[in-house]
């Protein structure tokens, strides 16, 4: 029996190191990596308008889902670098992975808000393919 393709689900708040780990997993497991923020950056820039962000995010998720589920159908490992903040979202993705014959591997990342903000503040200065993140979410 062939092993099920793995779907690594990266779960954690902003700046906890999800994309950093996603890149490691991608190379260690010959996986296709789906980093939502990179697609947003490529398509709509590093600081898309707030009023359009949700709609852009929805469109990206739709195209991404068609692609990563097809990867699983073909037996290819995937890394889903989405944040997956809510339990409902994690449950729904896990169910979808299973429907496409994959094995969900949940990876939870965590660090203090101070450390996360320091990392993001530094990353904001040289964004590359990341998105700009304001300090506001860390002040709530």
Q: Least distance in Å: CB of 124 to ligand ATP?
A: 9
List 105's β-bridge partners, or say none. Answer: 8
Window 13-52: residues binding Mg ion (CB under 5 A):
18-19
CA-CA distance, 8 to 76, in Å (whole number)? 12
Find the shortest distance in angstroms from Cβ 24 to ligand ATP.
Answer: 10
Is residue 81 a contact partner of residue 35, using CB atoms and an 8 Å limit?
Answer: yes
Total residues interacting with ligand ATP, rule: CB under 6 A: 15
Contact letters (x/-) for ligand ATP, 16-55, by CB under 6 A? xxxxx----------------x------------------
The whole-angstrom separation of Cα 60 and Cα 39 is 7
Residue owning tokens 């990179």: 38
Cα–Cα distance, 7 to 101 (Å, whole number): 10
16 binds, among ligand ATP, Mg ion, none (CB under 5 to 8 A by kind): ligand ATP
Give the residues lining the site for ligand ATP (CB under 6 A).
Answer: 12, 14-20, 37, 83, 119, 122-123, 130, 133
């Amino acid at each position: 029996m062939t092993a099920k393709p793995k779907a690594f689900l990266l779960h954690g708040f902003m700046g906890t190191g999800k994309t950093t780990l996603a890149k490691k997993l991608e190379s260690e497991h010959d996986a296709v990596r789906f980093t939502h923020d990179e697609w947003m950056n490529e398509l709509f820039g590093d600081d898309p308008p707030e009023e359009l962000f949700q709609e852009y995010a929805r469109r990206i998720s739709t195209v991404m889902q068609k692609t990563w589920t097809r990867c699983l159908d073909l037996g290819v490992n995937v890394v889903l670098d989405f944040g997956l903040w809510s339990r409902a979202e994690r449950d729904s993705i896990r169910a979808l992975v299973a429907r496409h014959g994959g094995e969900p591997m949940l990876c939870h990342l965590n660090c203090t808000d101070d450390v996360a903000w320091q990392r993001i503040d530094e990353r904001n200065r040289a964004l590359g393919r990341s998105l700009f993140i304001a300090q506001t979410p860390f002040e709530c």
